[in-house]
A and B are shown apart, each in its own frame.
Chain A
Amino acid sequence: EAAVTQSPRNKVTVTGGNVTLSCRQTNSHNYMYWYRQDTGHGLRLIHYSYGAGNLQIGDVPDGYKATRTTQEDFFLLLELASPSQTSLYFCASSEGTLGNTLYFGEGSRLIVV
């Protein structure tokens, strides 16, 4: 079964702080995604990637950078964190896109104070 591991699971930072959320998948999936989940908004796609070195912009990319360093690893970077980025972040992976199941990590809860 697909395994997607996120770290940290919980993080508190101050406004203007620098945060990196990490995601590793162990199934050699081509695609990886970062979503944020907020009450009233559901899950929204921030960035995604179809391979090492590739980055695609999602629906809500402002304030976020991402980097796919290897097939397995996808990082989400908040260089100047703001309270509006307080959220639950999910990483997911899939073999392809259209018609392919997404496998989700357990989430990283970020609080920006």
Chain B
Amino acid sequence: GEQVEQRPPHLSVREGDSAFIICTYTDSATAYFYWYKQEPGAGLQLLMSVFSNVDRKEEQGLTVLLNKKDKRLSLNLTAAHPGDSAVYFCAVSAYAQGLTFGLGTRVSVFP
């Protein structure tokens, strides 16, 4: 089945700097890609979704890049602020039984 590797597991960035997270997946049939954010004590909240025909998507300080050839998905948080401190998960979907998640990246933004 699908395997998703996410790195790094932890990331500390200074306020105003960028945070970069990468995921690799194994199934070439994977068609849908997601980034979720989880704040302490809360469920996962969708940040952005991307279909496989999109290579780059930008929204509200977030940039998602998709490299289908290398089976790689990345998230760049530009100009991070303390409110961005959370755990970020990538997730991919190829089949009807739901998403396969990465293990998460804990992002800490310090002043």
Contacts and interface: CB of A to CB of B under 8 A. Distances in A.
Q: On chain A, which size bracket covers the interface?
A: 20 to 34
Nearest to B44: A104
Given A97-B93, A107-B43, A102 B99 contact: yes
Interface stretch (A14-22, A35-43, A62-70, A76-84): A35-43
B97 interface: yes
Contact of A90 (B1, B41, B44, B94): B44
Contacts of A106: 41-43
Contacts of B32: 98-99
B29 to A, nearest CB: 11
Interface stretch (B14-22, B45-53, B59-67, B72-80): B45-53
A42 B101 CA distance: 7
Q: On chain B, which size bracket covers the interface?
A: 20 to 34
A105 B96 contact: no
A103 B103 CA distance: 18
A92 B49 CA distance: 16
Contacts, number: 62
Nearest to A56: B97
A98 B31 contact: yes
B111 interface: no
A90 B104 CA distance: 15
A51 interface: no
Given A4-B43, A90-B44, A104-B45, A98 B104 contact: no
Interface of B: 1, 6, 31-32, 34, 36, 41-46, 49, 51, 89, 93-99, 101-104
Interface of A: 4, 31, 33, 40-45, 48, 56, 58-59, 90, 92, 97-99, 101-107
Given A41-B103, A56-B97, A106-B42, 10 more contacts: A42-B89, A42-B102, A42-B103, A58-B98, A92-B44, A98-B32, A102-B46, A103-B46, A104-B36, A107-B43
13 contacts: A43-B44, A56-B97, A97-B96, A97-B98, A98-B93, A98-B94, A99-B32, A99-B51, A99-B93, A104-B44, A105-B43, A106-B42, A107-B43
